[in-house]
Structures are given as C-alpha cells and as structure tokens.
Structure 1
Amino acid sequence: MASVQNCYLLDTSVILDDPTNILRISDENHNGVVITNVVLAELNSKKDDMRSEAGFQAREFFRLADAAWGEPISFIELPECVRNHVDMEECKNDRYYRLALNFDRSLHGGEEANLIDLFIVHREHYRVAHNFSEPKGINDAKIGEIADDYDLTLLSNDMSFRIAAEIRGIRTQSIRNSSVEAPEQIDFTYTYEYEETPAIPTEVNHHNFDQLTFIQKALSTSSEMYETGIQRHAFCFNNQIEWCDFDRRFGEHFSDELVRPLNVEQKFYYAMMTHPQNYVTVVSGSTGSGKTLVALQAGLELVEEGIVEGIVYARNTVTSNDQQAELGFRKGDEEQKLAFFMYPLYSAVNFTIEHQSKRSIDARVEYTGNTNSVKRENATEVFMKKYNIEVMDIAHMRGTTISRKFVIIDEAQNMTNATLKLIGTRMGDETRLVVMGDPGQIDHPFLSKRRNALVSLLNKAQHNNFIAGIQLRHTIRSQVADWFDKNF
C-alpha cells in the first residue's frame, strides 16, 4: 500500500539552508511542497547579497526557478492533500502557481534529471497584517496564516517561528540538510581484543578505510587476562581486513628524502592517501597534528612514483581578522597576495628541505633551507619546481579541470558545502583529493562547528565507501599550542 501523501509549507529558512531540500521533501512528487508569495519575496530580497551563504542559496533557488517551466493553475490542480482541509471561505481569493523544477539528480545522489513540482500560494491581503502589533515577525505571521488556513505542516528552521506557530495549533518540523548535529562524535577508529586470531565482530559493519587496531590478550598462570603488548593495525576494505605492516612500510625501505610519520594515526593517514584504491581523503585535526606535512610527504611519494604529475595546494582565504585583512586588500599582485595564505604549505616544504639537507651529500643548490633567508627562498622555489608544486586560489577553480594531480584543500572548516562541491567537481582523471581542516577554528562569519564543508564531508565518510575519513587527535607541537587548543 502506498504511503500517505504529506503536504508541507516551506519557510524561507528551509530553502536558504539548501534549495535541494525541495527535492528531498517532495520524494519524487509523492508529497506536496508549497511556498507562499511572502517566501518568494524574501528570497528575492536576499539574492543580491554577494557575501553571505544565504545570498548564495537564494541565487541557487532562482537559478532553478529560471530554468523551470511554470504556469498559473486553479485550485482543483493543487495536490489533493492541499485541498483536503482548506478553509474555503478564508482562501477564496488566493491564487496559485506551479513551478516544475528541473533537478539534476546526478548532482544529488540520483541518476537522472526529473521535474519536481513546487506550488506557490499567492495571497494579496493577509488578515494578520491588520492587527499585527509586533515590530518584527510580520512575514512569519503571514506564512503561519497560510499554514493554518490550508492545514499544512510548516517546515522551518527558525525556532522562534516554530514556537509561535505551535502555540496557534500549527504542526511544525525542522530540516537542516547540511548541519551535522554531533561532529565531535564522528570517529573512524576501532579497537578490538583477540586471543588467537584477530577478527571483526560479525555484528559490526565497517566502511572502507575505517582504521582498526587489534590488541592481543592472553591468559596468565593465575587465570587473569592481560595484554601481551602485541598490536596489529589494519584498514577495513570491501568488508575485509587489509593489514597495515607499518614497521615494514615506514622502515628501512622508506625514502630518506621524506619525513616519516611519527605516530599510528599519522601512519594510517599516510597509508590511506597513498592507497591505490583511494581518491578522496578527508582529515580533521588541530594545529600541529601533521595534516599538511604528512599530506605533502604522501604527495611527494606519488610524484616520485609517477602516479601523479604534481601537487596542487589550495587554501581558503577566509581570515580571522576584519574585512580589510582579506586577500583583495593586501599589497602586491595575485601571486604575492596568495602567498600570505600559503604559509602552512611553505612551512611543510621548508621542514622537508631541512630534513633532506641533513641527508644530502650535495646541499649547495636544492637543500640550502637552513643557511640564510635568501638561500632558503631559493631552495623553496627549486623544491617546488622539482616536484611541480603549485598553489591555487579556490575562487579560480571554476571552469578548470585538474587531472593527474595530488590536490590538498586546506581550511575546509571555513568553506560552505557549495564551495567544496565546486572544488570536487573540478577534479579530473587520476587526481587524488585531500580535504583537511580544524573544526575547532571557524573563522567564516556564516558557518559553525556543526555547519561547514569539513564536518559535512566527515559525516559522509562515515556512511560512504568512496570517501576515506580520519581524525588526527594527537598534537605534535608545543605545550603552549596544545593548551590553547584544548582550553579555548
């Protein structure tokens, strides 16, 4: 038996969260999705805002609407669930419009394009406008009036609006498509104990590149269980245990030109990025956890082995300062401006140069990073040319295709999902992508620890075999840096 058809009236906040919410709520046109002329006007007022995510989402909605097919319709052409409980006396002067939105499902987890109906209720004169005394909230009250007259479920992410509506007896729900409610609980590490043969419990379902640690225990002469000190590490891949022999991987055969990972989580991280079947890695970690340095080493190995042709580093240019400190206000040409934001890369490069200089017989040209500032700058340039390392502004990725490169995207916690989608769709054949950031350092004025591209991708990695996720929780820097990370 077919499920019950539901009809929803959307508040502006639902569309500003993500216009593709319409696609999900509609459920292939099984449910009725309605907005009012008030919502349409609010979206129109926000579309010229070029600095906020709300402005971007409003423009996304109108891009869909501009490509839609639409026509005025009569009351009888509304979905049955809209017509079933309508107050005909209060709604007799309302007018209706249907927009057939052309959603490309290939961009939203589906296979093909399809038309999704969005119904617009237009009311010229709202009763609530005549006796509304509050200085704010008149538009919410108008939307609530439509929900009440048509007996629709109101979808809104505005808690104050929902409370006001429920007091009036209106059914409400919220929807936050891009918000991750418990990002601190995201984890990809699992520890199991074993006595004879390591195994994953049959009731546990793992995704690709989950990080597994098996600890051996044995029975003592006094019949007490104790840890033998033997630990084995593995990835889960295709529901099988894929053993990671870190002693061999990072032992005497590991290139002396590269900086070795220092702890188990860094070793998992390195092995994950260089795995033949992994093309997208998302990593979170605080300052000093080795995100950039270890990623650079993995990229260098892939370049040396001919798997990729170079390394691309792109870092979000959102700053923790005021607007005058942003990229456009700095002195110099584009390359000089961008250099201000590339210190994490240059720091990792110089650390690698100094590491190599200690092992290089001829340190005169390439490995002079530890002599003086002039030679250090020259060494950095030579190093980056040798390994074909380039920096890029994410704003200039639109219209490009990056093929056979190792791409490092930094500061993803300061990106919207739309920006990350732009980056991801620029990746060409045989390119490997690493997305990194620190969810504890949000500088973007419209994002939060629950709502940013980094935690969204981490959340997807928990449920998708295509994306490898890892969290670096160990800080390898000063005690001061560690204290501030944990206490602020």
Structure 2
Amino acid sequence: MKTSILVIEGSMHKMFVLDTSVLLHDPRSLYAFGDNDVVIPAVVIEEIDGKKNHQDMVGRNAREIARELDRLKELGSLCEGIELPNGGALRVEINHKSLSGFREYFHEINNDNRILAVALNLHKEEDMKADKRQVVLVSKDVIMRIKADSLNIMSQDYLHDKIEYAEEEYQGILNVSVDPDVIDRVYRLGVVNEGDLEEISANYHIHPHQFVILRDSYGSSKSAILRYDVVMKKFHPLRKGEEAYWGIKGRNAEQRMALELLLDDSIRLVTLTGRAGTGKTLLSLVAGLVKVQDERVYQKLLITKPVVPVGRDIGFLPGDKDEKLRPWVQPIYDNLEFLLDAKHITDIKNTLIGLKNIEIEAMTYIRGRSIPNQFIIIDEAQNLTKHEVKTIITRVGEGSKIILMGDTEQIDHPYLDSQCNGLTYVVNKFKDVSIAGHVTFKKVERSALAQLAAELL
C-alpha cells in the first residue's frame, strides 16, 4: 500500500533543483544531497524519456533513473513528495513552471530555460518566507550555471563523484632528499639498507609500487630511482626499465618507471597519466608486444579506446566494423608501424594483418565479454565515466593485465573534467592496492615543439 509523505515546508535548509545532465551523469545522484529537499522539474522527466532508447551510456543512465523513480513512486506520490532513506525528500515539480517573469531575461523557450524558470520561481517563493530555504540549481552544464547566476540563483556543479586529485598528491613518484652516502650505498649494494628504509618510511607514506627518487640533499646531480616492493617491504632499483625493447628505451626517468610497471607480471593494473607526447601509448604497446609476441605470457594484445570525437563529428563512415574503426584508432596503428619499422620489417601492412594475436576493438563491444590471459590497453581513458571504467575492469579475466592511460587535461566528454572521470577515479581508488601501479608523466618526448605547445597553449 502506498504511503504518501508530504514534504513539510521549512523542514529542509536547502532545496536542490536537479538538471537533466546530473541525472544522466549519475542516476544515483538522487541520494547525494543528504537530508535536503531534492526537486526534479517535470521537463527533466520528459528529457530523460527522450534519451531512454539511446544505445550508449546516456541511454543506459536514462533507463536506470526511470527504473529508480518507478521504484520510489511505490513509497508515495512523487508530485507531493516522498522521504528518501538518507532523511531527505524528493519530489517531481509540476508547478512553478511559469515563464511570465522569466522571459524578460531570456526570450527563447527551450527545456533548459524551463528548468531555470522552475528554479527561479521556487527561489522567489522561498525568498518571501520567514524560514526560507536556499534554492540551488545543480547542473553539469556550465552555461546553465552561468544563466542561474545571472538570475541571482545559487548554482553548482555536481560534486558528489569528484575525486580529490590535486597535482601535488599521488602521482606514483616521490622525491626524497637524502645524504649522498645513501645514494652511494644503493649503487653499491643494489638495495636500500634497513636504517635508510626506516628513515624514509617514517617520514613519508609510501604506496605499493611507488617510485622514490633519491636526490642529493647537498644539491649535486647525484640521484637514484627506487621502487617500493610491497611484498618484501623494501625498496629496490629499477630492474626492467633500463633495458631496450623492440628498439625502444626509456628516454627519461618517468618512461623507465612506466616500463618497470608495464613489464612486471605481478602488477595486473597500470595507470598512466600525462600530456600528449609523453610516450604513454608507445611504451604500453612496446610492453604488450614483448609480453605477447616475445615472452608469450599473454595470448593476445587487445587495444581499445572510447569513441569520442574531437571537434565536429564527420558522421557515418563507410565499410565494415574494422574500416569504420580505423580513423578512431589511427594513432595506435601509427605507433605499431613505428615499432615494426624499428624491427626493420618493411612489409608493415601485411605484417599487421598477419599478427593474429593483436586485436584492436571498439569499446562498444566490451560489455558482456570475459577477457582472460590478455594484455589489455585502454587508450584515452580520461573520456570514460566512473561506470564505464568499472564495466571495463570487471571484464578482465584470470591471467590478464590492463593498462589505462590518458591525459586528464584533454577531456572531450561533455560531462567530465579533470577531477571527475574514470581514469582519475581508478588512480585514486587503486593507489593502495598491491597489484596496481601508477606513473604520472611530465616530460614530453615527442618533439621540442610538442613540449612547448603542452606548456604554453
């Protein structure tokens, strides 16, 4: 039996009006506002209805929020308001939609302006009360928030799923100033002795597989790179990162650290972040070819990336699946051809066709698969949502290794940013996990011009 729970005016200190973009970004956002009042304008329900048949993440989220609202309506009338488990209240707002006072500011009648009109009318109504509540418009749409501000309505981005990921926090690399004798002992003994280990561990929180760069406290160029072995509880110098593979050798400390993680079979998840041209894709492909072609540790090299266009989409592409996918993954082919050329293979096109254990797949076809004994590379992972990255990692089968890489400064997804994306989410959630490792790249190695562009533009 339904129990109608009326939202009592004045019982909440804030009223959050949710834009469609918030619900399509996170269907669980209904429960993210504590004991406050959550309001969904009726036009938002119409917009969700228009997205429910999309065969992408937006469509999936539209269907999920529809199911969630259908479940909640069993608790009472959504129009009158129902109580949420966290002590808050939810209602679908079918009133307060008048555009009479709104059109003097914005003339066009569209769904965004209808949502803004609801927020404005609620704001005016609350402003006349003695125990008024603050009305806040929550939207992932920057323009919506700007419009709300011009109407003197408080607005904010949806912050619930943002990860604290300041640049000075975890990057997989820690610089430590030590006495030069410590560095000398590392090169002489090959490990850090117990006394030095205790001193470093006492002063710093060390994560599994984190790299520590020992620098001379007196200012000389003397240094040493160590990696923390979480199993043995000790630091040791790089073992694999100093060598050349398929004609490629780490050109700087960060690339050598990345190779160390990529070539370690005990590490099942590697995350690499950094600007374009730092070598993330090339090094991952090198490691994949070594492990699949040379050492036969994995049965197949699987490479994929989210299909998110930069700039205006060029529309439908002719051909079969592989021909349609080719423009999106051309950078992968460019790097593979570079590596094969380094091996002095002249017939590159036929060689790529002949390598049956290299698969370049569209991200669309990952769902539902189980991927065992494969070396998996996910490029441009910064364009994945939290749910998408969970879907991908949960596909990883027994004996597989997965690499997630991308540049969090170059996000093409309309509702993601540097603090709210799948790659950042994974970096922070897995930083204390013993089978995961991370490196943040700083130095661009593509060219001097690319380095300058990354810094100045």
TM-score by length of 2: 0.75
- Matched with 2:441 is 472
Cα 1:214–1:435 change in 2 (3 A) is same
- Matched with 1:330 is 317
Matched to 1:11, the amino acid is V
Aligned to 1:350, what secondary structure does the other structure show? helix
Q: Does 1:140 align with 2:109?
A: no
Q: Does 1:271 align with 2:260?
A: yes
CA distance in 2, matches of 1:7, 1:429: 50
Once the two structures are TM-superposed, the CA of residue 410 in structure 1 deviates from its matched residue by: 0.7
- Matched with 2:81 is 96
Matched to 1:45, the amino acid is E
Once the two structures are TM-superposed, the CA of residue 391 in structure 1 deviates from its matched residue by: 0.8
Once the two structures are TM-superposed, the CA of residue 8 in structure 1 deviates from its matched residue by: 5.5
Q: Does 1:391 align with 2:360?
A: yes
CA distance in 1, matches of 2:135, 2:433: 31
- Matched with 2:411 is 442
Once the two structures are TM-superposed, the CA of residue 57 in structure 1 deviates from its matched residue by: 4.2
CA distance in 2, matches of 1:203, 1:16: 44
CA distance in 2, matches of 1:180, 1:70: 34
Cα 1:454–1:64 change in 2 (3 A) is same
- Post-superposition CA distance 1:347-373 (Å, at most 9, x none): 23222222333xxxxxxxxxx33xxxx
- Matched with 1:381 is 353
- Matched with 1:361 is none
- Post-superposition CA distance 1:277-304 (Å, at most 9, x none): 4222221223322111211222233334
Check conservation: 1:144, 1:165, Cα contact below 8 A: no
1:55-74 aligned within 5 A:
57-67=61-71, 70-72=74-76
Q: How many residues align?
A: 409
Q: Percent identity?
A: 20
CA distance in 2, matches of 1:65, 1:381: 49
Check conservation: 1:70, 1:98, Cα contact below 8 A: no
CA distance in 2, matches of 1:163, 1:466: 46
Q: In structure 1, list runs of 5 or more residues that go unmatched.
A: 27-31, 75-93, 100-114, 218-224, 358-367, 370-374
Cα 1:406–1:323 change in 2 (3 A) is same
Check conservation: 1:12, 1:43, Cα contact below 8 A: no
- Matched with 1:221 is none
Aligned to 2:27, what secondary structure does the other structure show? coil
CA RMSD of aligned residues (A): 3.8
1:118-133 aligned within 5 A:
119-121=89-91, 125-126=95-96
Check conservation: 2:208, 2:432, Cα contact below 8 A: no
Cα 1:207–1:201 change in 2 (3 A) is closer
Q: Does 1:12 align with 2:2?
A: no
Cα 1:117–1:482 change in 2 (3 A) is same
1:51-450 aligned within 5 A:
57-67=61-71, 70-72=74-76, 95-97=80-82, 119-121=89-91, 125-126=95-96, 134=104, 135=106, 136=113, 137-144=116-123, 154=135, 156-158=137-139, 159=145, 175-179=158-162, 184-186=167-169, 187-195=171-179, 196=182, 197=196, 199-217=199-217, 225=218, 227=220, 229-235=222-228, 237=230, 240-246=233-239, 249-250=240-241, 257=246, 259-303=248-292, 304-324=294-314, 326=315, 329-357=316-344, 368-369=345-346, 375-382=347-354, 384-385=355-356, 388-450=357-419
Q: In structure 2, list runs of 5 or more residues that go unmatched.
A: 1-10, 107-112, 140-144, 183-195
Matched to 1:20, the amino acid is R
CA distance in 2, matches of 1:67, 1:429: 36
Aligned match for 1:35, one of 27, 38, 41:
38
- Matched with 2:190 is none
CA distance in 2, matches of 1:406, 1:18: 30
Once the two structures are TM-superposed, the CA of residue 478 in structure 1 deviates from its matched residue by: 2.2
Matched to 2:352, the amino acid is T
Once the two structures are TM-superposed, the CA of residue 381 in structure 1 deviates from its matched residue by: 2.2
Aligned to 1:331, what secondary structure does the other structure show? coil
